[in-house]
Copies of this chain bind each other. A is one copy, B any other.
Amino acid sequence: MSTVPLKQVNDLINVPQKTPIVQLLLTGNELMTGDIVDSNSALMAELFKDIGLSIQRKVTVADDLAMLVNEITYMTSISDILIINGGLGPTIDDLTAQALALAIDVELIQHPQALTHLTNWCEQRGTELNTPNLKQTILPQGCNIIANKNGSAVGFSVRFQNCDIYCTPGVPHELKTMLNEEIIPAIANKLPSTSNTDITRLQVFGLGESSLQKMIDEQLPDWPTEIELGFRAGMPLLEVKLTTTTKKGAILKAPWLKKLTHTLGDHLIAEINGKPKTMAEHLLDLLQQDGLKITTAESCTGGLIASKLTEVSGSSMCFEAGFVTYSNAMKTAMIDVSPTILATNGAVSEAVVIAMAKGALLKSKADIAIAVSGIAGPNGGSEDKPVGTVWLAWGSLNDLQTQCLLLPYKRQQFQQFVTAVGLDLLRRYQQKSTSVPNYVSERAFPKPH
């Protein structure tokens, strides 16, 4: 064990480290016209997150010299790291080098290292080194070259107004390699090794954003400010994020995560590690553990539940057959729903979804089923059964459960939400959950059975 002078240790513990402010400047006409969606900044955010940094602000402008110079001048004055993305290409609308030279007031010169890279690049490909390409070697005096394994344009960096500026290519795979192999390691090297940012993400279903907020306000009123709470409403899943950046936050997190988990109850599907799982994946995991097979009998969702299951690789272990019985006649022909039950109760009824589930189970020999029948709209509603009404039946042959919901969504959202509810009811069933979910707050109508 090496000894460390006392003062230095104290410094590390007591002096708060200033986290560098990172900003992005994205340039490109195509980013302004709606022709492409910017995926580069999400990639950058992910990679910065890995080294404990977050992007504070990003600005996107077209390829306009005056605007670029303005933004560079201002952004370097308010940040510690500025990533400029795009505008390194050979055409006249690629202006990054020129704008940077103007902003930091240096000459543009031909950079020998950039010329060597470009010459090798062309040689290896047997292409001619033409005048437009040569533009990519004319860079601000005094800048450092950043290798580009995948393209003809090198990156470059320079320090100005106490800000490290990195100029990067707009082509996603060139950017990715340059960030991973050059820029992120270089930045990480300069950081103190004690970043404390810690993030926990939870997948939640069956609660809206405002109901969740209310639940936390009421049941956990003393939530500590050291744990930042964030929500992201997805369709269908809600994501809850707990972020701590201080030691105190880190210590408080475990007990408060436990309290939150308890408060969320069955609404909590899982903690997210890596790529979030879909609802179908969670269900298939549970089914595979128990060696069970599932079948679907769908009317109003028209195959969407089956397609969500089969979207998952390996779903054939647990799913063999799905029945899309859209008409009454086909409910009878495919899964033996009695015409009398249909005539007596109507297609959107408890009796019919029970018969659908039973029929699908018998025909497919699966262990559990989900059956749905509802009115997706915009037409087909009545006073008794308005648009948005849906009956669900789920479970095994001898243990079928049912629920009726009235959902306030338009057709496609209705179908997606019913699919999510169906998968969630089966998840709860497999987890032997006893609580009754309330998917639409107090919207259930008629009352659940």
Contact = CB atoms under 8 A, between A and B. Distances in A.
Interface of A: 29-30, 32-39, 41-46, 49, 54-62, 67, 89-93, 124-128, 130-133, 150, 152, 171, 173, 209-211, 213-214, 217, 230-233, 239, 296, 298, 300-307, 309-311, 313-316, 319-327, 329-330, 333-334, 363-364, 376-379, 406, 408, 410-413, 415, 440-443, 445
A440 to B, nearest CB: 7
Given A316-B326, A327-B320, A33 B54 contact: yes
Contact of A315 (B152, B302, B309, B329): B302
A309 B413 CA distance: 15
5 contacts: A32-B55, A32-B57, A89-B209, A302-B307, A320-B330
Contacts of A440: 125, 127
A307 B310 contact: no
B311 A324 contact: no
B32 A54 contact: yes
Given A132-B209, A313-B411, A321-B325, 10 more contacts: A32-B55, A35-B239, A54-B62, A57-B67, A91-B210, A125-B440, A302-B306, A303-B310, A303-B324, A322-B326
A58 B410 CA distance: 32
A326 B319 contact: yes
A441 to B, nearest CB: 5
Contact of A443 (B127, B150, B364): B127
Contacts of A39: 37
Contacts of A124: 408
Contact of A126 (B35, B311, B313, B442): B442
Nearest to A305: B303
Contacts of A443: 125-127
A133 B131 CA distance: 60
A415 B130 contact: no
Contact of A230 (B56, B93, B316): B93
